[in-house]
Structure 1
């Protein structure tokens, strides 16, 4: 006697579709599988069977990424997050782990170095293009996940764990690293130790004069959020790691300003804070956003309101940087 078939219009258990679609991907029909993942998962959403739709989309994102189909995998990863929102799935450690599993499937591929001839230049060009696609795909997914986390129970800046994931991926995979963008996410994360490691790694390969800017930016960004604890921890950890690697810690007026600033903010010393800003004005102006961050620090620590009519301009730039 044949097994009874599901009635027309009813949906089978998700696992049946997961296994069927996995075979389509493994046969190399990536585009066909992609359309099926999208249409089949949508049917489960329409039936309000969100959990099964999530299972299908997570499986699809992971297997497409495993096969190097970054655009397809990233699209399904974003659909996974959109389904979390539609299903009103709360932010918790279990769901965060599901997001992390998809994130870990995004490839991490070292960019080729020192390839001189024309054929190899073509390889470099292709590798850079592929890296850009990886970073854009992973960023779209994690930024969507951050918005979900804000709406459904995480910190108002988004899940700290998600910020760390994005910061690490941008740093390791971007063809041209934007340390301001990396720092934006690390300071909203929960791992100043990892941040210190990234900064020390950057110091080993950056151009002269970029190392102290990167450290100062990181410290000021922590402080602009009112986070003196992690700012101090970061500075101490950088010094510790630099010493263990037998590197030179940058010595500059800007670094001296940052050291004095960290000491000043531990007490109620508005006049000293203002005197420091005036004394190190030239160093501070090496990067335009530093004055904006210091205005925010003055408000956070001393309730000194901004006097600048252009207030918020650079803050808006940082929001754009974080994809808000």
Structure 2
């Protein structure tokens, strides 16, 4: 096949693709009617046609719509798959990380369900135990689906944004979702995202919340680890903001920081670094 013929066929295929809005409306009706799997296949195959023709904007519209409506109907696996494909398309289209593209990622993130985990079993252990097991399994699916999506988004933002560590806003989103939705709280993982984020006040709230439900002796370790993570990144400002935010929130709740040797060490360390000693750290 000649090059000119190939280009003509590609141009024709680009023209043959209709505007995506009617397609999106049709697929949404399929989801609302309960045809989740059928709609999923249509979202994937149709968006692929637009992407092959380098009509990335239309492909993104289809994938964003599909991910959002599937998630809103509780179809986590389907929604997460389309969400990851959405990010893959951002990469293929070399779409820059900016306010508009971040807002699209944020809207998909907000569609992921948030369901409180049951913490206590009732009198009927067998029934409640079954419910708890089902809730844990569902929480794992939600957490893994959202984490896969946001990790992909972080890689895209690192490549097409200004921060080599990825978007601070996306790090906060991922840390927050892991903390609230994971059946087993991994504060090391949560902290590693928050210290690369831009919201030490929200991080402080999360640590205060963790203090109220963790095992004895875990609270001072979580606080110290978070401060040291900030310092290892050269971020003395947010390390101080984190401690100040925790003190303020604990005071409002008539609580205080743990009185342990580890917390005293962290306090003295921060005071020392304020005396122009940070380069020695």
> What TM-score, normalized to structure 2?
0.92
Q: Name the SS for the 1:124 alignment partner.
A: helix
**Paired position in structure 1 for 2:17:** 11
Alignment of 1:225-240 (within 5 A): 225-240=233-248
1:88 aligns to what? Answer: 94
Corresponding residue of 2:135: 127
Please name the residue that 1:208 is paired with: 216
Within 5 A, what are the aligned runs for 1:181-192? 181-192=189-200
Q: Is the 8 A contact 2:13 2:53 kept in 1?
A: no
> How do 1:234-313 residues align onto structure 2 when only pairs under 5 Å count?
234-269=242-277, 301-302=278-279
Report deviation, 1:210: 0.7
Q: Is the 8 A contact 2:14 2:53 kept in 1?
A: no
Q: Distance in 1 between matches of 2:176 and 2:162?
A: 20
User: What is the aligned counterpart of 1:101 among 78, 101, 107?
Assistant: 107
What SS does structure 1 have at the residue aligned with 2:111? Answer: coil
C-alpha distance in 2 between matches for 1:244 and 1:135: 31
Cα drift, residue 154 of structure 1: 3.0
2:247–2:256 CA contact under 8 A, matched in 1: no
What root-mean-square deviation, in Å, do the aligned CA atoms of Structure 1 and Structure 2 show?
Answer: 1.6
2:158 aligns with 150
Higher fraction of helix: 2
Secondary structure of residue in 2 paired with 1:267: helix
Q: 2:26 aligns with which of 7, 20, 33?
A: 20
| Counterpart for residue 193 of structure 1 | 201
Q: Is the 8 A contact 2:60 2:86 kept in 1?
A: yes
- Structure 1 residues 23 and 228: CA distance shift in structure 2, 3 A: same
SS at match of 1:104: helix
SS in 2 for 1:112: coil
CA contact (8 A) 2:168 2:196 kept: yes
- Aligned pairs for 1:42-53 (under 5 A) are 42-53=48-59
Matched position secondary structure for 1:110: coil
Which residue of structure 2 aligns with residue 223 of structure 1? 231
Q: Which residues of structure 1 form unaligned runs of 5+?
A: 1-5, 270-300, 305-324
State the partner residue of 1:317: none
- 1:178–1:7 distance in 2 versus 1, CA, 3 Å: closer
Distance 1:229 1:25 in 2: 47
Question: For each residue in 1:13-68, what CA deviation from the matched residue of structure 2 results, as whole angstroms up to 9, or x when unmatched?
Answer: 01111011111111111111111110000000011100000000000000000000
Q: Give per-residue Cα distances to partners, 1:78-127, cap 9 Å, x unaligned.
A: 00000000001100001100000000000000011322320121010000
SS where residue 275 of structure 2 aligns? coil
Change in 2 beyond 3 A, CA 1:7/1:128: closer
In 1, the alpha carbon distance for the partners of 2:139 and 2:26 equals: 31
Normalised to the residue count of structure 1, the TM-score between the two structures is: 0.80
Distance 2:113 2:170 in 1: 17
* Aligned equivalents of 1:303, 1:55: Cα separation in 2: 51
